[in-house]
Amino acid sequence: MKKIYIVTCVSMLFLNLSAQFEKGNLLIDGSFNWNGGSYDGIRNVYYEEYDNIKSKSNSYTIAPSFGYFVSESLLVGIGISYKYSTSRSEYKEEWYSDYYNRIIEEEMGNVEKNRLFLFNPYVTKYHKLGEKLYFNYTFNLLIGSGSETGYYYSYPINDEDIKYTYYSHDDPIDIFEFGANITPGLTYFLNDKFAVNCNIGQIYYVKNIRKPAEGYNKPETTNENFGMNLDLNTFMLGFQYYIR
């Protein structure tokens, strides 16, 4: 299994004093997160096990935010996030067709796409560890909605006499999501104008409600997850520029 993670973050802080936070300072922050992965092997698809699965996935998140220092060590802010992800799985299957009176080998696959908009109020607390180094932790609330769409396809291969393509669209799903997390980090001042901020890991709670779009008759499902996540995809490196 292969995975690739690219995470970038660009920030601007409007401060009065270098390497210090003061009440009234402003923070304009923006981040971009891209994840990509691939998988070859065994996987269950529509409750059946296939041993020749090839899967690819991509996702990205764009998240601008704005913060205000209410004291020398406390930042309150608000942000928005747009998340988009897509995944594709391909596999092969052989089956006997009574109509064609032969064994048919098919290339099969399914594609899923997810879109999610989130509203993100947050609070960040800073603790000075040294002249240029700060420890911080951020409490985030995430509230938003989105959608999921997908389709399944199949077509015969290695047979010049049989030509067809079958498509089956999944019912669209509306998504509502609520979450909260606490994320630790470090901020280090390189000089009077530049600083580096990094975050990894989080304690989180997420509630996800999925229901069919209007006009589709399927049951609503609710999933709740909470715990601690130290995966690589929680890592974020931020470069901050100070304007005085």
- How far is CA 99 from each of CA 95, 104, 162, rounded to the nearest angstrom? 12, 11, 11
More confident position, 130 or 47: 130
Winning range, highest mean pLDDT, from 12-16, 21-25, 192-196: 21-25
More confident position, 205 or 14: 205
What value does the mean pLDDT take over residues 147-155? 84
Write out pLDDT tens, residues 195-242.
788 887 889 999 999 888 776 677 788 999 999 887 766 677 777 665
- Write out the chain in H/E/C secondary structure: CEEEEEEEEEEEEECCCCCCCCCCCEEEEEEEEEEEEEEEEEEEECCEEEEEEEEEEEEEEEEEEEEEECCCCEEEEEEEEEEEEEEEEEEEEEEEECCCCEEEEEEEEEEEEEEEEEEEEEEEEEEECCCCEEEEEEEEEEEEEEEEEEEEEEEECCCCCCCCCEEEECCCEEEEEEEEEEEEEEEEECCCCEEEEEECCEEEEEEEEEEECCCCCCCCEEEEEEEEECCHHHCEEEEEEEEC
Share of the chain above pLDDT 90, in %: 26
Could you tell me how far CA 219 lies from the centroid of its own chain? Answer: 25
The phi, psi pair for 160, rounded to 5°, reads -75, -20
| Summary mean pLDDT of the chain | 79
| The pairing of beta strand 173-189 with beta strand 202-212 | antiparallel
Q: Evaluate whether 148 touches 173 at the Cβ level (below 8 Å).
A: yes
Q: Write down the pLDDT at residue 142.
A: 94
Q: Write down the pLDDT at residue 16.
A: 40
Write out pLDDT tens, residues 50-107.
556 788 888 888 888 888 889 988 999 999 999 999 988 887 777 777 777 878 788 8
Write out pLDDT tens, residues 34-43.
877 877 765 5
Nearest alpha-carbon partner for 4 in 160, 232, 203: 232
Rg (C-alpha) for the chain, rounded Å, is 24
